[in-house]
Chains A and B, each alone.
Chain A
């Protein structure tokens, strides 16, 4: 190293040269700008308005669901089931990888076509790879006994709605 360059890079009072200090400021500014751009880009990519189908639907009257009735609502991907002294609703979306399950009326079971999971009529996993039982959906009944299901609200397992 020549004398001249040594003089130029002589350490300042704090032990760092001016060049080191400016290099750190510059590098730090680039890092902050990079991180900021990343955050803003990710935020840009996140849609703010979603045009997805409504999650609330009418399921008829409670008297339509005597004990053991299973009705599959295709559009809403939900089963509305009469049982346990009232009515409850199950999501029809398999908890494994999101395939739409089917109700097998002769076996009184719910089966997933994709990876072979099976559920009983309360949503419990009988066998197969599904990690969780099918979620129960909120069912409300008005004074006249008309049922409304909201598939976006998940309620605790076993909470049957009585009309």
Chain B
């Protein structure tokens, strides 16, 4: 039985189709382990080897990773929710009721989307604090810190635009209050609000605009900046943990 299964796996690995997709053998040698990384589009943001101490929990607390995973969960659940959602009044609210009470697993997906959104905002905040207290923004990582701030703002906007979509009382008044805040910005405030809402009050136009922002514009912006953010981690020498005596500039100046 066991021998048969091994031979099945071997047969699969030896087949011409499998060899055309994965060109290297099982990851039993360091050469093949390297190939796993750099022959794979998604893994090759990693170097082939990483510094051992960066794997420690206290090095990063994996907070950026938690943010990224919640982002992936949000994309998956968000796409599924879009299949049942019409950005129009009052259909949007009826779709919420349908998702909650009629669609199989609709409530579960909506819950998952909501809690993942909260987690993403929270984890992104903590990630920022971790990087600050570890002084991981120091050269050469200055620009990646700024990209991180942009990502935090995009995340907040994503969460905020998504808040209007259920078209319930919470959504309507949360967004009314928030967009009135934009009105107070000098000179351009009133115009920004008009463009954002597509009118003078939160109405169907605003719902459609927030929908487009939430489902297309902001996710694309997030993915763009996210790619830069992750690529820069690699280019700047991997994740930076707590400061050690070795990278204390005062000591270097004394050298």
Give the residue name and chain of the A residue nearest to B204 (CB): A51
Residue among B177, B194, B195, B204 making CB contact with A97, cutoff 8 Å: B177
- Answer whether residue A42 sits at the interface, using C-beta atoms and an 8 A cutoff: yes
Q: Complex formed: what's the CA distance from A37 to B176 in Å?
A: 30
**A155 within 8 Å of B (CB atoms):** no
Which residues does chain B contribute within 8 Å of A51, judged by CB atoms?
203-204
A52 touches B198 (CB 8 A): no
Q: Give complex CA distance A52, B195 in Å.
A: 15
- B186-203 residues with Cβ-Cβ distance < 8 A to A are 194-195, 198-201, 203
Chain A, 39-52, contact with B by CB distance < 8 Å: what is the 0/1 string? 00010011100111
Q: Among the interface residues B180, B194, B200, which one has the most CB atoms of the partner chain A within 10 A?
A: B180
> CA–CA, A99 to B178, complex, Å?
11
Bound-state Cα–Cα, A28 to B180, Å: 38
Candidates A45, A50, A98; contact of B180 at CB < 8 Å: A98
Nearest A residue to B200 by beta-carbon distance?
A52
- Is the pair B205, A47 in contact by a Cβ cutoff of 8 Å? yes
Task: Say yes or no: is B173 at the interface (Cβ < 8 Å to chain A).
Answer: yes
From A45, A96, A98, A99, contact of B195 by CB (8 A)? A45
Contact (A52, B194) CB under 8 Å given A97-B177, A97-B181: no
Indicate whether A114 reaches chain B with its CB closer than 8 angstroms: yes
What chain A residues lie within 8 Å of B173 (beta carbons)? 99, 114
CB within 8 Å: A-B pair count: 30
Q: With a CB–CB cut-off of 8 A, which chain B residues contact A47?
A: 198-199, 205
Partner of B177 from the list A45, A50, A114 (CB cut-off 8 Å) is A114
Contact B201 A52 (CB under 8 A): yes
Does the CB pair B176–A42 fall under 8 Å?
A: no
| CB-CB nearest in chain B for A152 | B200
In this complex, how many residues of chain A approach chain B with their Cβ under 8 Å: the count is 12
Chain B residue contacts of A42, Cβ below 8 A: 195
Flag if A98 contacts B199 (CB, 8 Å).
Answer: no
Q: Which of chain A's residues 43-74 have a Cβ closer than 8 Å to chain B? A: 45-47, 50-52
B200 contacts A99, C-beta separation under 8 Å? no
**Pick the contact of B194 from A46, A98, A114 — CB < 8 Å?**
A46
**Minimum C-beta distance from B143 to chain A (A):** 24
Q: How far is the CA of A98 from the CA of B173 in the complex (A)?
A: 9
Q: How far is the CA of A42 from the CA of B200 in the complex (A)?
A: 16
In the complex the two chains form, what is the Cα distance from A4 to B200 in whole Å? 64
A100-140 CB mask vs B (1 if < 8 Å, else 0) is 00000000000000100000000000000000000000000
B42 to chain A, nearest CB (A): 34
8 extra interface residue pairs, beta carbon distance < 8 Å, beyond A42-B195, A114-B177 = A45-B195, A46-B194, A51-B204, A52-B200, A97-B180, A98-B176, A98-B177, A98-B180
Can you offer 25 A-B residue contacts whose CB atoms are under 8 A?
A42-B195, A45-B195, A45-B198, A46-B194, A46-B195, A47-B198, A47-B199, A47-B205, A50-B199, A50-B200, A51-B203, A51-B204, A52-B199, A52-B200, A52-B201, A52-B203, A96-B180, A97-B176, A97-B180, A97-B181, A98-B176, A98-B180, A99-B173, A99-B177, A114-B173
- Seen from chain B, the residues whose Cβ lies within 8 Å of a Cβ on chain A are 173, 176-177, 180-181, 194-195, 198-201, 203-205
